[in-house]
A and B are shown apart, each in its own frame.
Chain A
């Protein structure tokens, strides 16, 4: 792969020769790519979230699903986990918030450190881990209650009960996902009455309401129509100013559009990871190159 795909100038982009990259980068706003200054970062959040995976092995009923995974997720960036189906992307994501615990016959060794704390340590309170990791699933899954209660539910279980405070949070989070104007007059209607794209944004808002540090998205746009899908992508780009976003995606196009950091997995192994420009332009591994070229998917 000799072509320079990820340059700073527009000329470079026009020179992309490989058919699958055509037009992928042209929509990308320059400011979105890692250009948020350090000073601006601190304005948004003082903390620095950190997720590190050390020698993670996962077995499910004697199948070795994840093999020796060692990765680090950068804060305030969009990390895309890509790879063919069945490569363990979703399993890896599930290990981050320990939803994998409920899987039948799962065995796990290795460490996952969030802000320096091993989340699989016996001392670690599982609900605290999950509170830090907002989840956005493939199909929107609103809770069986009103729009308002969908967002208030998470706050209530974490001890926020005042009506006034809850009202503020609901409004703030619905505004954050651009849903406020659409639903402000019907907050008490069931969330299931919303369109599927609206539901997905509601789910995002619901996750944000418990103040996570990470947003885990498991193919969060694959069930949506193109416009809703674009909406969610734009939200991710906006939200990465405050959160570390980890996005499992099946569509390479999406990764190319919004990824800052890429992890390529194949058959349970992390083949390559690094900044998006590097991985997409100069993949170090033969497999990565083949995957990007569309040799398999």
Chain B
């Protein structure tokens, strides 16, 4: 057999192996969560807030953390979109490809991308102390927004960079101002926005370190932005720290809930992405 056909076969085998490896990890994690979490999962877990002594084996559930996480994700995603869409639009429509400002901005976002969330948390915490704020849902939303803005900007930016010049030219040729092209640009990069949102939601809902100092932890569901909020990752952390095996199992159940939420959001995101990309040229 000729060498190039052997190469083809070996390369294909390696690719399959890599893919399998990734699947194996995911499957392993899912198996662990399911094996330990599923028996502990019951309706109380998702419908009740922790009762007294929950972390020592008492009754109740993690509704506080579920709601806290959802509030934080919802708030930070909306805030993040509101900040990053104008940034991406400005970088790609108003600034030229060779613009120094665009270069520096992109570099800054790349650096922000790599900053660990605990640093954002500590940074926000010092500001909160300075302002005399307590740990609160609002603080958590702000710090998670900071955390996901670079994800939003960089992933949307990569898609927006591919904007066909012809498309912008065609829009300008109709007499549109740069601002008026936003409708065209947004529709064209809609799949990118959806992907960016999914990535950000995944990061936002799974972050523990950023919210530890800023959102705090509480056994009740926050009713205003000034109140502290519990989050699922922290809830998992606290339950897992317990010496009691029962409580540890509940940690896995909470992780299962978190995974299911991410799964539902991803599926919904896929559906919405397909819906929005139908117009893309």
Contact = CB atoms under 8 A, between A and B. Distances in A.
Say if A and B assemble together.
yes
Contacts of B188: 144
Interface in A129-172: 130-131, 133-135, 137, 139, 141-146, 153-154, 157-158
B170 A210 contact: no
B273 interface: no
B173 to A, nearest CB: 4
A127 B175 contact: yes
From A127, A133, A191, A203, residue with most partner B Cβ within 10 Å: A127
Contacts of A146: 279
Given A104-B97, A104-B98, A142 B173 contact: no
B187 A144 contact: yes
A191 B170 CA distance: 14
Interface in A59-117: 97, 99, 102, 104
Contact of A127 (B96, B177, B184, B280): B177
A104 B175 CA distance: 21
Contacts of A143: 167, 170-171, 184, 187, 281
A135 B170 contact: yes
* Interface size grouping (class) on chain B: 20 to 34
A228 interface: no
A154 B169 contact: no
A203 B184 CA distance: 14
A192 interface: yes
B166 A153 contact: no
B183 interface: yes
Contacts of A141: 164, 166-167, 169-170, 281
Given A104-B96, A139-B166, A157-B180, A145 B187 contact: yes
B164 A130 contact: no
Given A143-B184, A144-B188, A145-B187, A190 B174 contact: no
A130 B184 contact: no
B103 interface: no
A146 B183 CA distance: 13
B281 A192 contact: yes
Contacts, number: 82
Interface string B185-226: 001101000000000000000000000000000000000000
Given A144-B280, A192-B280, A207 B174 contact: yes
Contacts of B164: 141
Tell me the dominant secondary structure on chain A's binding face.
mixed
Contacts of A128: 175
Given A130-B174, A145-B187, A135 B279 contact: no
Given A139-B166, A145-B187, A153-B183, A99 B172 contact: yes
A261 interface: no
A128 B180 CA distance: 14
Contact of A134 (B169, B171, B173, B190): B173
A184 B184 CA distance: 23
B12 interface: no
B229 to A, nearest CB: 39
Interface of A: 97, 99, 102, 104, 127-128, 130-131, 133-135, 137, 139, 141-146, 153-154, 157-158, 190-192, 203, 206-207, 210, 216
Interface of B: 96-98, 164, 166-167, 169-177, 180, 183-184, 187-188, 190, 278-281
12 contacts: A102-B172, A130-B173, A130-B176, A137-B169, A141-B281, A143-B170, A143-B187, A144-B188, A153-B184, A154-B176, A157-B174, A157-B175
